[in-house]
């Protein structure tokens, strides 16, 4: 089964590959299409932004499954920011570590004690027949006192999932693939796909 993923993020595609091991899926990245460029994500929810990306890729690849997801970090002490701006919280071309540094700085300034946070993921899938499916996942936790860990990407070095004392980046990819927001959404999609394989 051919699937095109509307992302240029290799970390996200690696997570998807790990979660779908053993299934006969022919997975492709949007970056393989020379004429494709990412659309403007100007919606105010993760689901709406995922839908924008899915439809933009569907316009080019309408003979295969198209997947798009939007995900990010909500920090209660920052009024649920960075939210849909997670990838560009410190600026349009900010690195992961620049975004992490801004979250830590803003928490110190605004709400050093309220560190409760969550990762949220919305995944939109469009079938070759044009059917649309939405899958959501979230994981609760808090922002750590310091950056820690060598694995993962994005905000993994500062997010401590509920019930743990280490960050996602410290706990490693195997643990993250079991409990993360994205893994929950992707697993729900895969379960639906199994009925169609």
Whole-number pLDDT of residue 45: 97
Q: Residue for token digits 């349009």?
A: 92
Count CB-CB contacts under 10 A for residue 16.
Answer: 23
Mean pLDDT of the chain: 93
pTM for this predicted structure: 0.90
Closest CA to 139 of 108, 107, 171, 104: 171
| Confidence at residue 135, expressed as pLDDT on a 0 to 100 scale | 97
The pLDDT, as a whole number, for residue 9 is 79
The count of C-alpha atoms lying within 13 angstroms of the C-alpha of 36, restricted to the half-sphere facing its C-beta, is: 21
Q: What is the pLDDT of residue 13?
A: 82
Q: What is the dihedral of CA 174, 53, 125, 128, to 10 degrees?
A: -130
State how far the Cα of 111 lies from the Cα of 101, in Å rounded to an integer: 15
Q: Model confidence at 141, in pLDDT bands (50, 70, 90)?
A: very high
Q: Are 19 and 187 in contact (CB under 8 A)?
A: yes
* Segment 75-128, tens digit of pLDDT: 999 999 999 999 999 999 999 999 999 999 999 999 999 999 999 999 999 999
The residue annotated as part of the active site, out of 42, 70, 76, 195, is 70
Containing structural domain, residue 25? 2-194
Look at the chain and report how many structural domains it folds into: 1
Two tokens, residue 40: 């403007």
Contacts of 115 (CB under 8 A, 6+ apart): 75, 76, 77, 107, 142, 143, 144
pLDDT band at 18 (very low <50, low <70, confident <90, very high): confident
* CA angle 116–114–70, rounded 5-degree value: 40
Active site residue 70: yes
Q: Write the CATH number for 35.
A: 3.90.950.10
Q: Residue 15: which pLDDT band, with cuts at 50, 70 and 90? A: confident
């Amino acid at each position: 089964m051919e699937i095109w993923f509307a992302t240029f993020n290799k970390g996200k595609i690696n997570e998807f590959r790990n979660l779908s091991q053993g299934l006969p899926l022919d997975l492709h990245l949007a970056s393989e299409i020379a004429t494709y460029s990412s659309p403007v994500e100007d919606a105010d929810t993760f689901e709406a932004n995922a839908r924008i990306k899915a439809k933009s890729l569907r316009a080019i690849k309408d003979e295969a499954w198209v997947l798009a997801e939007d995900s990010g970090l909500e920090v209660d002490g920052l009024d649920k920011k960075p939210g849909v701006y997670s990838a560009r919280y410190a600026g349009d071309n900010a690195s992961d570590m620049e975004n992490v540094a801004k979250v830590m700085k803003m928490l110190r300034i605004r709400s050093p004690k309220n560190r409760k946070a969550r990762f949220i993921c919305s995944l939109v899938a469009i079938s070759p027949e044009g059917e649309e499916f939405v899958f959501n996942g979230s994981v609760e936790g808090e922002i750590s006192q310091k950056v820690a860990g060598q694995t993962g990407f994005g905000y993994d070095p500062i997010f401590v999932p509920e019930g743990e004392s280490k960050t996602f980046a410290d706990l490693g990819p195997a643990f993250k693939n079991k409990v993360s927001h994205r893994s929950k959404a992707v697993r729900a999609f895969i379960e639906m796909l199994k009925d169609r394989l």
